[in-house]
A and B are shown apart, each in its own frame.
Chain A
Amino acid sequence: MRRKNYTTFAAIHLGSEMLSMQITEYHNTERYKVVECCNRRIRLGEATFKNKIIPFPLVSEICEILIGFKRLMKEYGVEEYVMQATTAVREASNQVFLLDQIYNKTGLVVDVVDMPREIYTKFVAIRNTLKAEKISTEREGMLMMDISSGGLGVTLVRDEKICYQGNFHIGIIRIKESFERNRRESMHFNKALTEFLSSTIGPVRNELGDSKVRYLVLSGTETELLLRMLGLDEKQLVHRIKAADFHAFFDSMRQMSLPQLIQVYKLPENVAELVLPTVLLYEQLLHLIPAKEIIITADRFIDGIQLLHIGNKTNPVMRKELEQELISLFHTIGARYLYDKKHAQQVERLSLIIFDKISKAYGMGEHERLLLRATCILHDIGKYICMRSHSIYSYQLIMSTDIIGLSEADKEIVALASYYHANRLFDKTNTRAPQVEKELVPVVAKLAAIVRLADALDRSYMQKIHSCTVTLKDNKLKVLAASKEDLTLEIWTFDDKSTFFEEVFGIEPILERVNK
């Protein structure tokens, strides 16, 4: 028998409306085959968005279905799996009990992803599809709108860079659940809903500035419904529709009542109820961002789980590209707070030279490298608020910004490292210092120590050092900085800041200027 050259992987998504599993055999991101796809409807969102509690019968139902999924996983000889839960579970106050029951009854470990990661996961899938369709963002911008049952993610991409990213707590089921039935049936509902949506997503327009958008990419659970109503093939991966056609479609159906919708589009009542909020939301979006063409993709969250998993395992090029896009997002955030781009880049460059020398010995890998880069780019953004104690504001700004691609925990590390690049760790006299949880101390300290050193090397903010090599010998880290200019300020600062580095790594940093 020939050597088996593929891996069988199951992606499971516990969403707000659907419990899904997709089993794939993959060689790499180009060669893979979906062999099984299950979607079982569950009414999780309706229950949780209102009462924040997942009722017990629903917990049992979920476990029953998952036991079936486990059986299917065996039937296909699944070797790897990732199970993620999104909005409804994230927001349930009894989340822990649900996860515990799932684990005890099925052995499955559930990763509850936060909103930015959820959006990012889908972003990755859609990005991949659009690339395959050769839809380019080189010149004209593409605004991606992902509407899930619980949230709306807005991402602007131009020239392979993420130029804007914002997420809103507004989704179809959530809208439906936010208004009681009698309100939904009111004559004024249409207008009230329009205003509600407009006020919630209006600020996006300001954020986008003068950005022109050619494509509006729609994705999410309700797009399927939209396709069906437009009479398009649900199985096709990508649909491109002219904006004018889209408006005409909306005009044709806006005035329809619920019974008319059910009759004309042959929808079940519970689905028809979602039509109005969906249509109004899309309409508001189009009103805010007049795009020329609308693209609807069939990508789902579960496709993103799958792609990220396979990509991480097999495709370093894709990893790099994704990382590059994330870095572009960090810069977008930096720019929003008027950061000193040249300084940030210099610190990033120098930090990476040091990092690459010592990372292996200190248990740091690709992921820490990315967090380091984020810290370097964002460490000074607090200066936007106040020049004096900028580091605390850097911390706060980072913590309160959605950064897709980074989990809440990742974001906290970046924020803490940014704060501690300028402050002493364990300083009892500093009552404003943010607490670092015990398990985060090593990574935060290591990143902060590196950034602190690199920051010292550009103390003048003049990027005097044009190149730099680092050697490590006998616990001494020798930094050979090539510069034609005087480095006195940098050398003094470096001396002051090197103590922390030595404490953390047990290595003494020494700076030498090379006149080149």
Chain B
Amino acid sequence: MGKLDLTKPEYFYNRELSWLKFNLRVLKEAMVKDTPLLERLKFIAISASNLDEFFMVRVAGLWSNFDSGVEKRDASGMSVHEQLVAISQAAHEQVRTQTKSLIALMAEMDAVKLHFRRVKDLSELGKDWLEEYYREVVFPVLTPMAVDASRPFPFLANKTLNLAVELIKADGEHSMGLIQVPSVLDRIVEVEPEGKRTFVFLEDIIASHCHDLFKGCHILDMVSFRVTRDSDLDLEEDDSVDLMKEVEESLRKRKRGAAVRLEIFKTNNNRIKKFLEENLDVTEMEVYEINGPLDPTCFFKFIGMKGMWPWLYEPFVPQRPLELPYDGDLFASIRENDILLHHPYESFDPVVKLVSDAADDPQVLAIKQTLYRVSGNSPIVAALARAAENGKQVTVLVELKARFDEENNILWARRLEKAGCHVIYGLVGLKTHAKIILIVRKEDNGIKRYLHLGTGNYNDSTAKLYTDLGLMTANDEFGSDASAFFNLLSGYSEPPVWNKLVMAPLGLREKIYALIDNEIAMVRAGREGHIIAKMNSLIDQPVIQKLYEASAAGVHIDLIVRGICGLRTGIEGISDNITVRSIVGRQLEHSRIFWFANGGEEQLYLSSADWMPRNLNDRVELFFPVETEEHIHRIKALLDLYLRDNVGAHMMQSNGTYRRVRNKLEPVSAQSTLYEMAQLAVTADKLPMEKRLQPVFSRR
């Protein structure tokens, strides 16, 4: 057999376009009739918020590359400009779908007596109430800005909503003005005296009342618009950082903060459109005309308003973990058996408890942990600080580059330092993305190490939404690897010969190749070759090529990739043994699971890493085996469940589109099933008798 050329551009999808397809899948959840009404509205808000970030980071990055003349083509053969054009087309299409969906949803809301109205359509009572609301609440925070020869166009902050105003002065001269819709006020206002639940948009309130804002001028026309900028955030979601280095420093400074998208309410007023385009320096393809409410992220707050519960899911309550049926000595439980946690179906509390117990346990000598993103008032950070105050040796590897609010990060990192923790602010050339906690405990028989290894961040808030797996173990081989890992990151030691853990960028890529090669070898030896891999994104070209190689050799590969996927299915002789599906639903799929048939002796790994260049080359990541038989079975069953899903699953078609899985079988939603199973696990009959005898004093 001749060697296959697996590098052809037609074998790959562009990363950005693949991402847009993912966001479209999220958006389309808004049209699933079985889902509660306001949950559907939430999907619109999520997709809108995602799109904002996409423009701020990805599109801005591409423009920046374009401006600095980067000529590199991506794996699918597209130049930077071709990508920008294609993105603009797809994004325009997506925004149209978004607006259509939103308007349809608002009609459905109207049917259940949640009314969105224009101010002019309100009753007199309502109008009077709004008049007062405007005077008392809105007016004091409004700042009208005229734009003319002596007053230049002001800097409008990223993601703010504004009104562009066309004016005519007493002397007949035309001019323009701007009003920022104050972001400190609620965007959606309920008009209480209307009798039935009625809501208006803040920009409409302003527009209806502002005729006297510009003294001595008459208002001719008003249009709402929103600007999105190249954000000065970290380029966290970006692996074009390498290219960025080539960019001249001065150029970067100039472009930083540049507008990358203008959303404008649909209007025929070309004077206002031109005025905004020129002053914000955007080209036509960056302008999005929207015939509906701008910025649907405001609905996040709306669905949280009082009395909305009939149209929402019942509150999601993470359950007590199956393998930790009751409170008690966590260390003893871990010593006895490895413990597998599946969030958010199972509570994240044991992870917090692990750190917290360690902080107060007199036998604990040291705690070491990586922190990538933590919640605002993180109980883990508090426990770490307490541990240091209790005289434990606490080492925290903080990744400052990980967060949008860096300032806040520095604040709590300082707090940890002040408490006496040894804080390492990341590594010079790598981002630390691995999720690991190591606790060193001095016991009667000597040092014992306790570990938590996870696929998701140590963030108790997102752990209620993201599906992640975590493993607690006291296995010595894992423990000594964990120590070696921290010694390496602390600069105390060279990389060791690992027992169990695999680390990126030192060896993970090679390990992945080896595991895939092993399946190829199995097939060649006449046995079955099968891989099931679940991750968030798959875009690493060499890994994709390796998967093609395996598929061509006859290895069966099932990929469960939530987001970006650069791999194409259904290419004859190349990828016809590969399936790709994406699970979208109430929870955000986040766990990274890798299963290999290995000729019948299955191997299963969990990881913090996706198969993306940035994860495999530029980040510190961990990849670790799950070794107990029960856990392998439990996780394999989980993968099989995902593969049976015909509710939230979308299959990639050979033309690159995704189609929702629909079949005649009984509907299976992996996410709902898992939640039901977790609830079932804690029902009374599963509890030991001593627990069943306990009186209940309060409901959870």
Contacts and interface: CB of A to CB of B under 8 A. Distances in A.
A474 interface: no
A1 B393 contact: no
Contacts of B395: 71
A259 interface: no
B490 A6 contact: no
Contacts of B492: 21, 38, 40, 65, 68-69, 72
Interface stretch (B13-21, B96-104, B493-501, B565-573): B493-501
Interface stretch (B398-406, B442-450, B579-587): B442-450
A71 B393 contact: yes
Interface residues of B, number: 22
B446 A25 contact: yes
Contacts of A6: 445-446
B393 A38 contact: no
Contact of B393 (A21, A39, A64, A74): A74
Interface string A60-94: 00001100110110111100000000000000000
B483 interface: yes
A313 interface: no
B493 A40 contact: yes
Contact of B494 (A39, A68, A76): A39
A250 to B, nearest CB: 25
A33 interface: yes
29 contacts: A1-B444, A2-B444, A6-B445, A6-B446, A8-B447, A33-B446, A33-B447, A35-B480, A36-B480, A37-B493, A37-B496, A38-B487, A38-B492, A39-B493, A40-B491, A41-B494, A64-B491, A65-B492, A71-B395, A72-B487, A72-B492, A74-B393, A75-B365, A75-B366, A75-B393, A75-B440, A76-B366, A76-B440, A77-B365
B159 interface: no
B181 to A, nearest CB: 53
A234 interface: yes
B442 A77 contact: yes
B255 interface: no
Contact of A36 (B442, B483, B491, B497): B483
Chain B residues touching A, majority SS: mixed
Interface string A286-306: 000000000000000000000
Contacts of B444: 1-2, 4
Contacts of B353: none
B364 to A, nearest CB: 10
A507 B246 CA distance: 88
B115 interface: no
B422 interface: yes
Contacts of B484: 37
Contacts of B490: 68
A134 interface: no
Is the interface on chain A under 10, 10 to 19, 20 to 34, or 35 or more residues?
Answer: 20 to 34
Top 5 A-B pairs ranked by shortest CB distance? Answer: A75-B366, A38-B493, A75-B393, A25-B446, A68-B492
Contact of B491 (A1, A2, A39, A68): A68
Given A4-B444, A6-B446, A25-B447, A65 B491 contact: yes
B234 to A, nearest CB: 28
Contacts of B442: 76-77
A20 to B, nearest CB: 9
Interface in B222-265: none
Contacts of A72: 487, 492
A69 B497 CA distance: 20
A65 B422 CA distance: 14
A37 B493 CA distance: 8
Interface in A1-52: 1-2, 4, 6, 8, 21, 25, 33, 35-41
A105 to B, nearest CB: 16
Interface in A208-255: 234-235
A2 B442 CA distance: 13
Contacts of A71: 393, 395, 422
A507 to B, nearest CB: 50
Contacts of B480: 35-36
Nearest to A68: B492
A69 B487 CA distance: 9
Nearest to A73: B393
Nearest to B493: A38
A25 B494 CA distance: 22
Contacts of B496: 37, 39
Contacts of B483: 35-36
A41 B496 CA distance: 12
Contacts of B440: 75-76
Interface in A136-168: none
Interface in B470-491: 480, 483-484, 487, 490-491
Given A1-B444, A4-B444, A25-B446, A76 B493 contact: no
Contacts of A39: 493-494, 496
Interface string A488-508: 000000000000000000000
A234 B493 contact: no
Contacts of B493: 37-40
Interface in B377-424: 393, 395, 422
Given A37-B493, A41-B494, 6 more contacts: A35-B483, A38-B493, A40-B493, A74-B365, A76-B366, A77-B442
B183 to A, nearest CB: 46
Nearest to A26: B446
B447 A76 contact: yes
